[in-house]
């Protein structure tokens, strides 16, 4: 918003060359003059000041020493006025601006969300964009009733949704469900539960179906655990979707290798922010990645321009590139072992569920000329039951 304001009021970029450039900074502080974009070098100071405050620098500039000089550059709307000084150009610009303002009322300027709590505005707006609701969409093309119903169907975490167009704003009002039950997905049709891994059965929890194993049994991968065929007291049979949990003692032996010649990627602290602009959903300017960075990571933020507290149909996208440098180093044995252990902790976080219980954990480090190798033996209690749908084939 500050950028847009400074563009309209106009500004002057001043560079003061002197052996004592701090003099002008002291004057600015004494006169309480607001400036921005201060850059200081050994022999100069540069800053920007609003055009209507420029004349307050005249008393200081009249007392410049012979060895001192000043350079000025007009910026913002003032610079445009310097290029187009004729009255007809300004009149034509005013007419075009008024015309564009009228045409813009036919489009959605902003998309807003009300009533959400757990799910962020950005996530909901992204879902709406996939349904065709975004800044720049013609208001006459929006079927609000259909989109409200479609959003409700595709997002069951909401108990209510309603899309309304207020002026140039598309406002989605939602109500989140109080709680979402965490239940395993129901299978379609009959199914068995079979072993996803081999091991010794520790306990069974049968919710539906018939248990095919008991505690102490040893099973292999793919063996039947809970059958979907149920026998009734009258001797008849029926097929169901087997449900339950079967915990078995299993063994896993992951290993992790860390070379002594370690290459890491680190942030250098250098970064560059580039801006792109969208008006009514149309991109006007796009920013290419900086060529001076060989490798980089990217963070992106989007913000709508506001005027008098209202969103304008102008979206500013700030893309920040963070320079990455590859760093090679020789690791000590202790450092390599720590990195191997950190990898093991990442493995546990990624591969073990909350239901899994570690019964035994053995770590063994070995060293070679190339690096360190960590071998782990894990004895687990884990739920090995997975669904396996089946069907009947009629035999003539």
- Encoded tokens for 280: 């009514």
Q: Is there a domain that residue 95 lies in?
A: no
- Looking at 310, 328, 346, the residue that finishes a domain is 328
Rounded alpha-carbon distances, angstroms, from residue 73 to 55, 70, 251, 305, 382: 14, 10, 73, 26, 71
What is the count of structural domains for the chain? 5
- For residues 236 and 271, state if they share a domain: no
Q: Are 106 and 136 in contact (CB under 8 A)?
A: no
pLDDT at residue 346 in the model = 92
Q: Are 324 and 341 in contact (CB under 8 A)?
A: no
CATH number, domain containing residue 137: 3.10.20.310
pLDDT in tens, 33-79: 888 888 888 788 888 888 888 888 888 888 888 888 888 888 776 66
- Encoded tokens for 68: 């001192």
Q: Is there a domain that residue 14 lies in?
A: yes
Q: Is there a domain that residue 185 lies in?
A: no
Q: Is there a domain that residue 315 lies in?
A: yes
CATH number, domain containing residue 72: 3.30.70.260
pLDDT at residue 99 in the model = 66
- For residues 221 and 267, state if they share a domain: no
Q: Are 301 and 317 in contact (CB under 8 A)?
A: yes
In eight-state DSSP terms, residue 63 is T
- Looking at 131, 151, 176, the residue that finishes a domain is 176
Query: Rounded to 10 degrees, what is the CA torsion of 191, 192, 197, 200?
Result: 160
Residue-number span of the structural domain to which 62 is assigned? 2-82
pLDDT at residue 75 in the model = 79
Mean pLDDT, to the nearest integer, of 162-186? 72
Query: How far is the C-alpha of 331 from the C-alpha of 337, rounded, in Å?
Result: 9
pLDDT in tens, 295-343: 888 887 777 777 776 667 777 888 888 888 888 888 889 999 999 999 9
Orientation of helix 121-130 relative to helix 144-154, angle to 10°: 120
Q: Are 52 and 6 in contact (CB under 8 A)?
A: no
Share of the chain above pLDDT 90, in %: 17
> Among the listed ranges 17-31, 193-207, 246-260, which one has the minimum average pLDDT value?
17-31
pLDDT at residue 280 in the model = 66
- For residues 48 and 38, state if they share a domain: yes
200, with CB counted inside 10 A (0-12, 13-18, 19+), is middle
Share of the chain above pLDDT 70, in %: 83
- For residues 238 and 268, state if they share a domain: no
Q: Is there a domain that residue 271 lies in?
A: yes
Confidence band, pLDDT 50/70/90 cuts, at residue 188 = low
- Cβ count within 10 A of residue 313: 20
Tell me the whole-structure pTM to 2 decimals: 0.45
- Looking at 328, 346, 363, the residue that finishes a domain is 328
Q: Is there a domain that residue 103 lies in?
A: no
pLDDT in tens, 126-140: 888 888 888 778 888
pLDDT at residue 341 in the model = 93
- For residues 241 and 268, state if they share a domain: no
- For residues 14 and 76, state if they share a domain: yes
pLDDT at residue 89 in the model = 59
pLDDT at residue 247 in the model = 93
- For residues 6 and 77, state if they share a domain: yes
> Among the listed ranges 72-86, 139-153, 175-189, which one has the minimum average pLDDT value?
175-189
pLDDT at residue 118 in the model = 80
**CB crowding 264-277: b at 16 or more within 10 Å, else e:** eeeeeeeeeeeebe
Q: Which residues pair with 189 in a beta bridge?
A: none
Tally helices (H) and strands (E) across the chain: 8, 23
Question: Which residues, including other chains, have CB under 8 Å from residue 218's CB and lie 6 or more apart?
Answer: 198, 199, 200, 201
Q: Is there a domain that residue 367 lies in?
A: yes
Q: Are 51 and 10 in contact (CB under 8 A)?
A: yes
Q: Is there a domain that residue 90 lies in?
A: no
């Amino acid at each position: 918003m500050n950028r847009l304001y400074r563009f309209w009021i106009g500004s002057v970029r001043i560079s003061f060359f002197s052996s004592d450039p701090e003099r002008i900074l002291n004057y600015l502080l004494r006169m309480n003059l607001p400036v921005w974009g201060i850059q200081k070098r050994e022999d100069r100071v540069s800053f920007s000041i609003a055009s209507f405050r420029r004349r307050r620098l005249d008393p200081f500039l009249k007392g410049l020493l012979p060895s001192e000089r000043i350079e000025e550059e007009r910026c913002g709307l003032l610079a445009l006025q310097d290029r187009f000084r004729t009255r007809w150009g300004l009149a034509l610009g005013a007419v075009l601006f008024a015309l564009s303002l009228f045409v813009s009322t036919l489009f959605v300027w902003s998309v807003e969300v009300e009533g959400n709590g757990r799910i962020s505005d950005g996530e909901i707006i992204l879902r709406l964009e996939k349904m065709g609701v975004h800044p720049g969409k013609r208001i006459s093309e929006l079927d609000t009733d259909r989109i409200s119903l479609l959003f409700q169907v595709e997002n069951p975490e909401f108990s209510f949704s309603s899309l309304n167009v207020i002026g140039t704003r598309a406002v989605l009002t939602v109500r989140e469900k109080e709680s979402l039950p965490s239940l395993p997905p129901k299978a379609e049709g009959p199914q068995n539960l079979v072993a996803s891994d081999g091991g010794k059965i520790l306990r069974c929890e049968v919710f539906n179906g018939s248990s095919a194993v008991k505690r102490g049994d040893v099973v292999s991968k793919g063996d039947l655990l809970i059958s979907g065929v149920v026998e009734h007291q009258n001797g008849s049979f029926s097929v169901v979707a087997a449900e339950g949990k079967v915990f078995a003692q299993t063994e896993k032996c992951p290993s992790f290798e860390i070379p002594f010649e370690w290459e890491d990627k680190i942030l250098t602290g250098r970064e560059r922010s580039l801006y792109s602009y969208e008006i009514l959903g149309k991109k006007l300017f796009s920013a290419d990645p900086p060529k001076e960075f060989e490798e980089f990571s990217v963070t992106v933020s989007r913000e709508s321009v506001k005027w008098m507290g209202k969103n304008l149909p102008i979206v500013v996208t700030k893309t920040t590139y963070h320079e990455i440098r590859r760093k090679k180093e020789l690791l000590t044995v202790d450092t390599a072992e720590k990195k191997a252990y950190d990898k093991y902790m990442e493995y546990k976080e990624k591969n073990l569920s909350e239901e899994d219980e570690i019964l035994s954990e053995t770590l063994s480090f070995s060293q070679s000329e190339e690096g360190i190798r960590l071998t782990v033996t894990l004895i687990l209690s884990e739920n090995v039951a997975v669904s396996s749908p089946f069907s009947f084939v009629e035999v003539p």
